[in-house]
Amino acid sequence: MDGETGRRSGKTGRQEQIIADLRLYPAMRVGELADRLGVSAETIRRDLAELDERGLINRTYGGAMRPVVYEPGLAEREGLMIAERQRIAATAAGEIAHNDILMIGGGATTLHFAHRIAAVQQPLTVITHAFSIAMALSVNPLIKILMLPGQYDGREGLIHGADTIDALQHFRANTAVLGASGLTVEGPNDAAVGPGLIYGAMMRRAARTLVLADHSKFDRPSLTVYGPWSSLVTLISDAAPQGDLADAIASCGAAVSLA
């Protein structure tokens, strides 16, 4: 058998080269690659099929492109909740006042929120760890955008790490605006530890927190609970939670606002 003997033939090396090329150019065609690597187009196609399978590239008609890292939640965008998220974002935007200091976490819903507040002519200060949020807000010169330091994770488009948490301790905000991968009786959840720690820290440094989540997140546990329900939290959603989740939220004094 084989079992990873390295480059038994030119195959492994060639596939590595394809990936390297794709780092340099965002998309390449089959013919190009065949020429560059001196093999037939069919061989390239087979390589691409394999690499695509492993998620190392994205196949396109006629060639391949660099894999998309940077999707705000590859899994998340699937749900067609776009309209719901827009409404949630609009409702949340209504909660923001002139000269507020905000902390905004990453995610698809908070990005919608950022687009909303960027469209309003009001001075704000925003502290964030998400590239997408900063880029969305930067169209409005009235908004002062402070980026947190830390290690950049290209897959999520976010910064996180100990430096990030540390830097947050130097700030205070009126409002933290956070998304969630799931909502459980213990509190809002996130699918990754690093970002979760940041959301928790943001909650503690803000006078109040808005949690933006559509109803598909109800009772959906994710990796980590980043913070508790409390009287400082307002959940903004498109439907009211039911059962245990509703009880937990109410008994902790958290508010629910429907979009």
Q: How far is the CB of 61 from a second copy (least distance, A)?
A: 3
User: Which span sits near DNA by CB under 7 A: 4-12, 131-139, 152-160, 226-234?
Assistant: 4-12
Q: How far is the CB of 115 from DNA (least distance, A)?
A: 24
- Among 125, 116, 250, 101, CA closest to 176: 101
139/193 with CB nearer a second copy? 139
R_g of the chain, CA atoms, integer Å: 22
Q: Provide CB contacts within 8 A for 22, sequence distance 6+.
A: 28, 57, 64, 65, 66
DSSP letter assigned to residue 130: B
Q: Can residue 26 be called a binding residue for DNA (CB under 7 A)?
A: no
Phi, psi of 129 (to 5 degrees): -120, 5
Q: 9, 23, 68, 80: which one contacts DNA (CB under 7 A)?
A: 9
Q: 21, 29, 86, 223: which one contacts DNA (CB under 7 A)?
A: 29
Both tokens assigned to 66 = 């660099």
Q: Collapsing DSSP states into helix, strand and coil, what is residue 168?
A: helix
For every residue of 46-112, DSSP letters joined together read HHHHHHHHTTSSEEETTEEE------S-TTGGGS-THHHHHHHHHHHHTT--TT-EEEE--SHHHHH
Q: Can residue 3 be called a binding residue for DNA (CB under 7 A)?
A: yes
Q: 18, 51, 63, 211: which one contacts DNA (CB under 7 A)?
A: 63
The letter for the amino acid at 170 is: H
Q: Can residue 53 be called a binding residue for DNA (CB under 7 A)?
A: no
Distance CA 76, CA 67 (A): 17
Strand order in the sheet with 27-29: 27-29, 63-65, 58-60
Q: Can residue 78 be called a binding residue for DNA (CB under 7 A)?
A: no
Q: How far is the CB of 241 from a second copy (least distance, A)?
A: 28
Q: Provide CB contacts within 8 A for 231, sequence distance 6+.
A: 252, 253, 254
Q: 19, 27, 46, 86: which one contacts DNA (CB under 7 A)?
A: 46
Per partner kind, with CB cut-offs from 5 to 8 A, the member of a second copy, DNA, none near residue 221 is none
49/193 with CB nearer DNA? 49
Per partner kind, with CB cut-offs from 5 to 8 A, the member of DNA, a second copy, none near residue 150 is a second copy
14/129 with CB nearer DNA? 14
Q: How far is the CB of 231 from a second copy (least distance, A)?
A: 31
- Site residues, DNA (CB under 7 A): 1-3, 5, 8-11, 14, 29-31, 38-43, 45-47, 49, 59, 61-63
